Amino acid sequence: MTSQLQHTVESSTIRPQLSQQLEVVSANCIQCQICVNECQFLQHHGDPKTLADSYNPADEKYLNIPFECSLCELCTAVCPHGVTPPELFLEMRREAFVRGENDRPEHRRLRSYENKGTSKRFSWYALPGNCDTIFFPGCALAGTRSELTLKVFAHLQKTIPTVGIVLDCCTKPSHDLGDEDYFTAMFNEMKNYLLDQGIKTILLACPNCDKVFKKYGTEFAVHTIYEILNRSNFNPPPLLAGATVVLHDPCTARFNPTAQNSVRELLKKQGVEIVPQQHSGKTTFCCGEGGAVNCLKPTRSGNWTEKRIDEAAGTPIVSYCAGCTQILGQQTKTRHILDLIFTNPADEVKVAKTPLTYFKRLQLKKRLQSDLSAATIRERPLQLPRRETSRGKNRRLILVTTAALILLPGLFFWFH
């Protein structure tokens, strides 16, 4: 450990998990600059060792820096020494939250999105008798493509007659923003309920949810639906024969070769030619949405989007993440792979946009309530309270003080 890092750690009490990550990155990063050459965040703030050695939680700058990282793990993928900087930056985010410095107005919309997903109004669990497998479509697919979600579920019902469906949020936003206690409590409430109901297998459409369940839901067998579709007797007619596309692997599937290969096989069955990309598979780009950087640094997150589009060079893009598809689709022709294999490519796919996505999710829930016979149903019974941060307290104090300054003169004149 360098003297600078020793000084930082000794002068401020930090969480043991963060202290360990600082030591690991400082000791193992050789400052080869390979990751820096790939990443705008590191180009702006310095290589991982520099960031670890200079970290000082007493300086607000270092509580803000990690929120500019997309947590996409491209740096991990290209590191020749196995260093995992995003694990350090996530611990820095958690440290900021513990210190009460993570109540940022820019993140409110994202937190609200998550709150709706786990709310009684939007959540829905439908488990048939003898159900041990569920389809977990995630928030984005259910909102943008509710009809398609129903088609996928109907296909799963043919191959797994007792499959259930769960409309809920995996609370990855809270996880990535550093609210570890809230994420753990909410995810475990969902996980424990499913375990109590005898659920053994989770089938996921969203790579973000897949990553969360694989890491924190180890009691389950976790698979993407792309793996299930690829190895089942699912052989839709090759309506896209001769088509050429660029396949965008979501950064959350960076280290999931099974999902990557399954998607590629599904496209090949459709007769699609995939144009090779320098950044794909393990070294894929982030679409720009990762780590909620678009909330704080929209220009920087937009640069990631442009990198992917520039590398595609005008070729239509296909992805298997509804979030990536939405972000990239704002600037170039982009389709979700489920659009291609469950609908005729000549037909226009109805993709909802915010705020219509919320209505579509409620509509999807209503359809399931009406059409699906289930032995066990539930809505999320509660949302746990979030810790109030010092920023939140200060903001509330400012609002109260401002209101008092406005109202008091009027009250004074009223009574006099």
Bigger pLDDT: 376 vs 404: 376
- Looking up tokens 């290969």 gives 261
Q: Which residues are paired to 317 by β-bridges? A: 246, 334
Cα separation, 286 vs 72, in Å, equals 6
Q: Which residues are paired to 274 by β-bridges? A: 245
Q: What is the pLDDT of residues 275-287, one digit of tens each?
A: 999 999 999 999 9
Q: 3-98 has which fold?
A: Fumarate Reductase Iron-sulfur Protein; Chain B, domain 2 (1.10.1060)
Whether residue 334 contacts residue 319, with contact meaning beta carbons closer than 8 Å, is answered with yes
Residue 412: what pLDDT? 47
Element (H, E) at 377: strand 376-378
Residue 237: what pLDDT? 63
Residue 415: what pLDDT? 46
Residue 387: what pLDDT? 61
Q: What is the pLDDT of residues 149-206, one digit of tens each?
A: 999 999 999 999 999 999 999 999 999 999 999 999 999 999 999 999 999 999 999 9
Residue 273: what pLDDT? 93
Q: Is the peptide bond before 85 cis (omega within 30 degrees of 0)?
A: no
Sign of the alpha-carbon dihedral angle for 80, 86, 87, 89: positive
- The set of residues, in sequence order, having a beta carbon less than 8 Å from that of 272 and lying 6+ positions away, is 240, 241, 243, 244, 245, 318, 340
**Segment 78-102 mean pLDDT:** 94
Predicted TM-score of the model (pTM) = 0.89
Residue 31: what pLDDT? 98
Element (H, E) at 406: helix 390-415
Cα separation, 379 vs 45, in Å, equals 44
Cα separation, 338 vs 150, in Å, equals 12
Domain(s) labelled CATH 1.10.1060.10 in the chain stretch across 3-98
Phi, psi of 228 (to 5 degrees): -65, -45
Q: What is the pLDDT of residues 322-340, one digit of tens each?
A: 999 999 999 999 999 999 8
b or e along 361-382 (b: 16 or more beta carbons within 10 Å of the residue's beta carbon)?
bbebbeebeeebebeeebebee
Instruction: Assign 345 a pLDDT band (cuts: 50, 70, 90).
Output: low
Q: What is the pLDDT of residues 292-325, one digit of tens each?
A: 999 999 999 999 999 999 999 999 999 999 999 9
Task: Give counts: helices (H), strands (E), the chain.
Answer: 22, 10
Angle formed by the axes of helices 16-28 and 3-11, to 10°?
180
Residue 239: what pLDDT? 61
Cα separation, 48 vs 285, in Å, equals 19
> 3-class secondary structure for 224-250?
EHHHHHHHCCCCCCCCCCCCEEEEECC
